[in-house]
Amino acid sequence: MEGVLMNIETVLHFSNKELLQAFYTHKIDEFVACPIKTNISIDYIEICNRICRLIREYTITEIISLIKEVHTDFSIEAKDVPQFSSLNDCYIRVPFLLRNCGMEYVSFEQMGYMLRTGKRNAVADKKYGENHAKTAAMLGLCKFVRGKGFALSVLGYCYTALADHEKHKCLGPLTAYIPFIQNCVVAPNPDEAVLEGISFLSQTTQARRLPNINTLMRGFNK
């Protein structure tokens, strides 16, 4: 697909393989990861519905194989390494809340307030909301817009229409969409790639992030 102009008509006519490769290389983020709006093009929704279907039909092995054909390592910064307390909150509750909370954009604090239970703490709410919404964004399910907050993405809109068991089936394939994780799963030795990939972080940060990374990598170690 090198040199292909990624306009909407081109993408609509992609083969299944071409669409998935464009998705995993983030070449069509403008269509799938943009915020959902009332006037969004039906073509965007068609593309995302198709992606949601394909990532459930293809096996993880097939997906990794097609990614390897076109993969170029992503440049990674500390903000690109996932951090969360509950994976379920990232891929189930965050997109659900964004679709059903009645707000177009949700701040870190608002998201944390909706996700957390128990004694209220503004600082804890903000940090929890930030970590889990950012991880959901890495999965392609929402989009952060500076100065506004998080909004459900077009992909997230199509994804939230799925049954829970279908969402669960999407988790592994969506995890491969995360640049850091993708760099690792296509490497000859994924475990070594993980350690090398976080080596630029401080030891304390590595210790916090590694369990999260291992949780996300678990679906590729079968």
**pLDDT tens for each residue of 171-194:** 999 999 999 999 999 999 999 999
DSSP state of 68: H
Residue 220 has pLDDT above 80, yes or no: no
* Closest among 153, 168, 136 to 55, alpha carbons compared: 168
Q: Which tokens belong to 57?
A: 């039909």
The rounded distance, in Å, linking the Cα atoms of 73 and 96 is: 31
Q: Encode pLDDT of 123-171 as tens digits.
A: 999 999 999 999 999 999 999 999 999 999 999 999 999 999 999 999 9
Q: How many residues does the chain have?
A: 222
Render the burial of 52-83: b for 16+ CB within 10 Å, e for the rest.
bebbeebebeebbebbeebbeeeeeeeebbbb
* Closest among 55, 52, 58, 80 to 155, alpha carbons compared: 52
Q: For tokens 């100065």, what's the residue?
A: 147
* Closest among 12, 52, 42, 15 to 28, alpha carbons compared: 12
The pTM assigned to this predicted structure is: 0.94
